[in-house]
Structure 1
Amino acid sequence: RVTNPKLFERYLLPVYKKASDILHSKGKIVSAHMDGALKCLKDLIPKTGLDVVEAFTPPPLGDLPLSEAREEWGEKIIISANFPETVCLNGVEAIKQYTLEILKTVAPGDAFMLTVTEDIPYKEPNDLLEISLRTITKIMYEYGRYPVKIP
């Protein structure tokens, strides 16, 4: 987990809020890298003033499903989600299904970006990085255009 919710609320929330207010007053978009277990912070994150949660980690590595984050945050916060490397270890079909599930969850696609983690092994097994990226890209190209519509 990023941090204990009580510590986050006491020490980090005021800093995020102050920084967000300053940056927003200058017309800036505010983003923070928040990977890992965020479920315990899901009700506090909207209070930070952040516009983007970057490196959002959905299950199986993180503990906050995209659907719950979207339900809690609406489209107020843009979710930039990491594609979990563990899914890539399960083969092409698992990658396809996971990518389609992500798209179903975020459809029509407002306030969402899909990114790919840097942790996908690039050699073993059998050029996993290339296979993973090609599979994700193919699904995104086929179904991920706005507005997202999954048959």
Structure 2
Amino acid sequence: MSPKDFDEFVMSYEPKLIDKVHSYGYLTIVHSRGKVNDFLEKFRDMGTDGLNVLEPPPMGDVILADAKKKIGKDICLIGNIEYSDLSACPNEEIEQKVKNCIKDAGENGGFILSPCSFCYEIPIPKKTSDNCITMIESCRKYGQYPLKF
């Protein structure tokens, strides 16, 4: 989406919806997939409380450490683990990806690690489910405050 289209089709409507939700005392999370790095500040400016899924390359273009620096003090960052990694990577690589995400965005809170998307296969393949367990266990291992990196 071009910046012009983003302004026309997103920024002209989304902030009003967010304000309405906030008027009822609720928080908001905007879900936007793909290449959103050029729009990070606009997501912050629209007033949402959280942004997911923050896809890393190649599916997206968000470098988590950069997103944390740009908007991480103002908005909760959510995501950054690709489903393709959960379905294919060795467990050790998933653990390292989790550790890297927490190191890049976990400082001072405001980060929820999650998959960028999830499995539509039934039953969930064993490799995927094993890696999901590794992701959760790694979050518990490395995501305790104070962070020790």
Unmatched segments (≥5 aa) in structure 2: none
User: Which of 9, 13, 27 matches 1:11?
Assistant: 9
The alpha-carbon deviation at position 66 of structure 1 amounts to: 0.9
Q: Which amino acid aligns with 1:98?
A: K
Where does 1:19-34 land on structure 2 (aligned, <5 Å)?
19-34=17-32
Q: Which amino acid aligns with 2:119?
A: D
* 1:119–1:61 distance in 2 versus 1, CA, 3 Å: farther
- Equivalent pair of 2:18/2:48 in contact (CA under 8 Å): yes
- RMSD of aligned alpha carbons: 1.9
- Equivalent pair of 1:23/1:30 in contact (CA under 8 Å): yes
Q: Which amino acid aligns with 1:33?
A: H
- Equivalent pair of 1:35/1:62 in contact (CA under 8 Å): yes
- For 2:128, the equivalent position in structure 1 comes to 129
TM-score, normalised with respect to structure 1 = 0.84
- Equivalent pair of 1:55/1:81 in contact (CA under 8 Å): yes
C-alpha distance in structure 1 between counterparts of 2:43 and 2:66, whole Å? 13
- For 1:107, the equivalent position in structure 2 comes to 106
Instruction: Give per-residue Cα distances to partners, 1:46-78, cap 9 Å, x unaligned.
Output: 121111112222234210111111111132111
C-alpha distance in structure 2 between counterparts of 1:112 and 1:11, whole Å? 27
- For 1:98, the equivalent position in structure 2 comes to 97
C-alpha distance in structure 2 between counterparts of 1:22 and 1:57, whole Å? 28
The alpha-carbon deviation at position 43 of structure 1 amounts to: 2.7
The alpha-carbon deviation at position 104 of structure 1 amounts to: 0.7
- For 1:53, the equivalent position in structure 2 comes to 51
* 1:145–1:120 distance in 2 versus 1, CA, 3 Å: farther
- For 1:79, the equivalent position in structure 2 comes to 77
- For 1:119, the equivalent position in structure 2 comes to 119
User: How many pairs align?
Assistant: 145
C-alpha distance in structure 1 between counterparts of 2:64 and 2:54, whole Å? 9
Q: Which amino acid aligns with 1:105?
A: D
Q: Which amino acid aligns with 2:48?
A: L
C-alpha distance in structure 2 between counterparts of 1:8 and 1:93, whole Å? 38
State the identity as a percent: 23
